[in-house]
């Protein structure tokens, strides 16, 4: 696999080069270097080509490359709260867990500073941990919500840049005093705007081409924002060429939807509020979308705004089940989000698994069955045959969930031509997956050499046991249902190695 050292794009594959010696000869002939070799990496790489890694993918091996995961919705400052939510639901969870945690991320006496150094050391440690942890789970690109703090938001951008993770960084805007607590909010719509501009300028100065890190305009969600603030932010996004990305939440929880209706009685719907303020654009990421109406879905599709499906979070906070099949059937663009810490895990593999599970349960919900009985009633009042077919159709396949985790996510961030796959010309953002194989009954099928030589305890490298008779498709299914970060052996962003499993 050959990747340009200049821009990290895939130049091609060489299926003939079956042995390392052949590859070395080929490289010598073409003047290419192996970036994994410290002796040749660096100075004498004339900026031309790079060999990223040689992997044998014949059927007796247990490793494969997979496109890096794209997390289209994650809150970096909520990471310490992962798994802590008790039995709260969205609105009381924000009040009890989230706002108190986020409010501690900035230094109050350094409110206007842009300098990452004016950030509490605890914030830096947590942000560094989030970036390291998501990388170790194979997330090569993430769209982060930070906090309202300028310097801390810039620090997160700098950490992603330094560690080599592709990222969108959003300084959270929340200025509505009727919803936001006095200890954690912007003083005015004006402050939401100027503080946002401040982080945009910092990030664009740090990475002028936006090769790795880009700013994203982040009104937290409708209840936290005043009308002037929403208006300012919509205008701000449009004032850039190309227009800036936008991220927010929509229709996650039924009490939230009712609250939005109360707060914005003049709007036809939740999506309608965002549309009024020009916040529904082809570069807008809408997280959750659990309770959208058909009219709202139509509006979102018309504006070509994108959906971040966060199934682990939707289940954990009891928000509901988003109708992903409907989104896909209607032609919406969908990716996956961990929504840490509404979601309890930083893993997009977990999000993919939960997307499959949620879709399998949706067919059994009252709302769904009611609808199906209405359409499919077969005369005995139970709508059995129809409902059975439809519950089957609702199921997301493993392959579809992996599509959402990669190419779907790439489309959500408007980078479908660059990310999410291994097409020639795409950027090499990738993870090397290693599956284990430790079968006590069938020792002859041991595929993990280290495990077979008893150099590692079973389960240390991987808890996914595979067998020599299994097809690649089966191995990939086992990875999705049973895998975790132990299976992520190495991670590259833009052809650069950014993580290796210890
Ligand atoms: N809605 C407003 N803020 C948040 C948040 O931080 N997480 C989730 N899941 N939903 C939100
Ligand atoms: Fe969220």
pLDDT at 65: 87
CB atoms within 10 A of CB 449: 11
Residue 397 exposed, middle or buried by CB count within 10 Å (0-12, 13-18, 19+): exposed
pLDDT at 341: 98
Q: From ligand 1's centre to the CA of 287, what distance in Å? A: 9
| R_g of the chain, CA atoms, integer Å | 24
CB within 8 Å of 35: residues ≥ 6 apart: 5, 41, 45, 50, 51, 52, 495, 496, 497
Question: For a pocket test of ligand 1, which of 80, 81, 89, 94 has the largest count of ligand atoms closer than 8 A to its C-beta?
Answer: 94
- ipTM confidence score: 0.99
Residue of 191, 190, 362 lying closest to 290 (CA atoms): 362
* Beta-bridge mates of residue 73: none
Determine the topology of domain 69-362+394-412 in CATH.
TIM Barrel (3.20.20)
Residue 182 exposed, middle or buried by CB count within 10 Å (0-12, 13-18, 19+): exposed
Determine whether the shortest distance from the Cβ of 363 to ligand 1 is under 6 A.
no
Determine whether the shortest distance from the Cβ of 220 to ligand 1 is under 6 A.
yes
Determine whether the shortest distance from the Cβ of 342 to ligand 1 is under 6 A.
yes
**pLDDT tens, position by position, for the chain (502 residues)?**
777 777 888 877 766 555 556 666 666 666 555 555 555 544 444 444 555 444 444 334 678 889 999 999 999 999 999 999 999 999 999 999 999 999 999 998 999 999 999 999 999 999 999 999 999 999 999 999 999 999 999 999 999 999 999 999 999 999 999 999 999 999 999 999 999 999 999 999 999 999 999 999 999 999 999 999 999 999 999 999 999 999 999 999 999 999 999 999 999 999 999 999 999 999 999 999 999 999 999 999 999 999 999 999 999 999 999 999 999 999 999 999 999 999 999 999 999 999 999 999 998 887 777 766 544 433 333 434 444 445 667 899 999 999 999 999 999 999 999 999 999 999 999 998 988 764 444 544 445 555 555 555 556 677 788 877 788 899 999 999 999 999 998 899 998 889 998 7
pLDDT at 434: 87
- Residue whose token pair is 């079973």: 458
Residue of 298, 305, 256, 254 lying closest to 277 (CA atoms): 305
Determine whether the shortest distance from the Cβ of 343 to ligand 1 is under 6 A.
no
pLDDT at 440: 44
Dist CA 447 CA 462 (whole Å): 12
Report DSSP state, residue 292: -
Identify each DSSP E strand in 444-487 by its residue range: none
pLDDT at 495: 86
Q: From ligand 2's centre to the CA of 249, what distance in Å? A: 6
CB within 8 Å of 117: residues ≥ 6 apart: 151
Residue of 154, 215, 225 lying closest to 192 (CA atoms): 225
pTM for the model stands at 0.91
Q: Where are the domains positioned within the chain?
A: 2-66+427-500, 69-362+394-412
Q: From ligand 2's centre to the CA of 290, what distance in Å? A: 12
* Beta-bridge mates of residue 50: 3, 33
> Do 184 and 102 contact (CB within 8 A), yes or no?
yes
Two structure tokens written together for 141: 């690109």
């Amino acid at each position: 696999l050959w990747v340009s050292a200049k821009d990290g794009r895939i130049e091609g594959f060489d299926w003939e080069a079956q042995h390392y010696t052949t590859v070395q000869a080929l490289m010598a002939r073409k003047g290419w270097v192996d970036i994994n070799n410290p002796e040749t990496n660096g100075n004498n790489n004339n900026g031309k080509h790079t060999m990223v890694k040689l992997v044998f993918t014949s059927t007796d091996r247990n490793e494969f490359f997979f496109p890096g995961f794209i997390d289209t919705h994650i809150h970096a400052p909520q990471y310490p709260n992962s798994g802590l939510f008790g039995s709260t639901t969205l609105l009381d969870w924000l009040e009890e867990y989230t706002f108190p945690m986020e409010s501690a991320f900035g230094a109050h006496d350094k409110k206007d500073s842009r300098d990452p150094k004016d950030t509490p050391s605890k914030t830096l440690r947590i942000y560094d941990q989030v970036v390291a942890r998501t990388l170790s789970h194979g997330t090569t690109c993430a769209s982060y919500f930070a906090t309202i703090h300028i310097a801390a938001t810039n620090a997160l951008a700098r950490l992603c840049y330094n560690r080599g993770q592709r990222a969108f960084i959003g300084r959270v805007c929340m200025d509505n005093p009727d919803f936001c607590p006095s200890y954690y909010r912007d003083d005015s719509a004006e402050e939401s705007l100027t503080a946002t501009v401040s982080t945009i300028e910092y990030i664009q100065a740090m990475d002028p081409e936006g090769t790795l890190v880009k700013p994203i305009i982040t009104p937290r969600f409708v209840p936290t924002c005043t009308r002037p603030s929403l208006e300012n932010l919509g205008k701000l996004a449009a004032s850039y060429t190309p227009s800036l990305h936008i991220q927010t939440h929509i229709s996650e929880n039924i009490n939230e939807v009712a609250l939005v209706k109360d707060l914005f009685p003049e709007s036809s719907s939740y999506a309608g509020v965002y549309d009024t303020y020009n916040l529904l654009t082809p570069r807008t990421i809408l997280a959750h979308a659990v309770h959208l109406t058909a009219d709202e879905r139509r509006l979102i599709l018309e504006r070509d705004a994108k959906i971040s499906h966060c199934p682990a979070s939707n289940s954990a906070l009891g928000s509901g089940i988003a109708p992903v099949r409907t989104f896909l059937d209607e032609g919406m663009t969908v990716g996956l989000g961990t929504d840490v810490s509404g979601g309890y895990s930083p893993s997009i593999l977990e999000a993919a698994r939960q997307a499959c599970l949620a879709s399998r349960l949706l067919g059994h919900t009252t709302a769904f069955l009611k609808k199906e009985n209405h359409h499919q009633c077969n005369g005995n009042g139970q709508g059995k045959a129809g409902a059975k077919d439809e519950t089957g159709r609702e199921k997301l396949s493993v392959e579809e969930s992996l599509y959402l985790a990669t190419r779907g996510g790439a489309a959500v961030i408007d980078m479908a031509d660059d990310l999410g796959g291994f097409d020639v010309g795409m950027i090499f953002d990738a993870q090397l997956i290693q599956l284990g194989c430790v079968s006590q009954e069938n020792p002859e099928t041991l595929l993990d050499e280290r495990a077979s030589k008893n150099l590692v305890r079973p389960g240390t490298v991987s808890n996914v046991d595979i067998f020599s008779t299994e097809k690649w498709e089966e191995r990939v299914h086992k990875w999705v249902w049973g895998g975790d970060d132990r299976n992520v052996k190495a991670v590259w962003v833009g052809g650069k190695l950014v993580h290796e499993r210890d």
